[in-house]
Amino acid sequence: MTERTPTTTADLLELEIGPVAHGGWCVARHEGRVVFVRHALPGERVRARVTEESKSFLRADAVEIIEASPDRVEPPCPFAGPGRCGGCDWQHASLPAQRRLKAAVVEEQLRRLAGIERTVLVEEIPIPYVEGLENAPVVGPGLGWRTRVQYAVRGDGGVGLRRHRSHSIEPIDECLIAHPGVEEMGIERKRWPGASGVEGIVSAGTGDRLVVLSERRGRDRRPVRVPRLDVPVRLVRGRAEPGRALPFVREEVAGRLWQVSGSGFWQVHPGAAQVLADGLLDALEPRPGEIVVDLYCGVGLFAGVLGERVGRNGLVVGIESDGQAVRDARFNLRDLPQVSVERGRVEEVLDGLEFARRDHGGRRASGSLMHQADLVVLDPPRSGAGREVVDRIAGLAGRKIGYVSCDPATLARDLGYFGERGWTVESLRAFDAFPMTHHVEMLATLVRG
């Protein structure tokens, strides 16, 4: 038996880089162990510094490129690279190569976790023009898209972003993937004594701006000194107390304005919400009078566009656990009487749902209570829906299911669960809603097998 050479985090390994792996890594091997390597590309030969070690695998950063891939480019951001800002994974790859890498990850996760063989194409999402930002700086391809940026604050008040798999903060004075409307605030160029975090938000449709402060806790807690920013903004200090509304931004999508309070969830790419709403309508083909359930509905985007399609004789029920999001959704959809929003955990609210068909006058038809919807939509957090929720949805949905996900692994796992319950994938689209990072947004449509 060959003894394995002990490895330390100071070691440099010469590696042949193999395929891409989920999470912004590529896979190599050293003395029989898998090595997950960042800052490399498939087919390259590199020298990599070990950053973590376990019994079964290593993690490493490529610090020297011996033989480069033709897909390699110079990272546009000076803060990207080994040991530095962890916000971006693929700045060293061309944009077409990034999309191929993401497609390969989605395909591998579907094959391994769900037994689904499918060719995936990751689609580009154009960045729409935003009125009121005519003087914003021009950025390059794949940059300037992130409308919500969460900065970490050091003890001295300086601002930065977390390093990869670390609590350490990389000081920055500019983030190239941040939307120009965020950069115009000048958050990174100010001091924020007393804050633990600062989030900069700009609306993709209206130019509204918001800054959300997180205060330090415990012994380090002290009043936050808010600097004067370069443009007017609305300020949020923490979450709302019960009964107190938070400042909000207005997003303009699908011909409607959507109120999103504080750090409430909204797609960070300025074109993603419209693309996903359109894609969902195309895939599900909602019909007048149908019943729809929208799980993890947030501030009501999908419930709203589906509610308009099913009309006054239809019914859309949204379910959301976050109280502020429920308040926003009810406000956003107040003109659609066929749409209601229930607050609670999805698996708990689903158990008590009953629906009623309506007649042509919009009245509930007698004797029409039922426990099945025509369509079900879900857009769960990164952790996915899980078996318990999938089991409920599989029995609830009648015609189609639309599943929106930002994580290939949990999507594939849940599609496998749906397959066990007799549902098959009719279509799957992937969108590059997070250029320069390993993240990808997906829309799967399921039908009964």
What count of other Cβ atoms lies within 10 Å of the Cβ of residue 171?
Answer: 14
26 assigned to active site: no
Write down the catalytic residue from 77, 88, 175, 406: 406
Q: Mark the binding-site residues, compressed into ranges.
A: 267, 296, 320, 379
Rounded Cα distance, 391 and 388, in Å: 5
pLDDT(202) > 60: yes
Residues 282-330 have pLDDT tens digits of 999 999 999 999 999 999 999 999 999 999 999 999 999 999 999 999 9
Whole-prediction pTM value?
A: 0.93
pLDDT(343) > 70: yes
Under 8 Å CB-to-CB from 170, ≥6 apart: which residues? Answer: 79, 84, 85, 86, 160, 161, 162, 163
- Judge contact between 148 and 266, C-beta under 8 A: yes
Alpha helices in 56-199 (DSSP H): 95-109, 180-183
Q: From the centroid of its chain, how far is CA 443?
A: 12
Exposure of 92 in the CB half-sphere (CA atoms within 13 A): 22
Q: Mark the binding-site residues for S-adenosyl-L-methionine, compressed into ranges.
A: 267, 296, 320, 379
- Determine the pLDDT at residue 362: 59
pLDDT grade, residue 218 (50/70/90)? confident
- Judge contact between 87 and 161, C-beta under 8 A: yes
Tokens found for residue 341: 């929003």
Q: From the centroid of its chain, how far is CA 4?
A: 40
pLDDT(128) > 80: no
pLDDT(3) > 90: no
pLDDT(1) > 60: no
Give residue 68's identity as a one-letter amino acid code.
A
Q: Find tokens 């929106």 and name the residue.
A: 404
- Determine the pLDDT at residue 165: 94
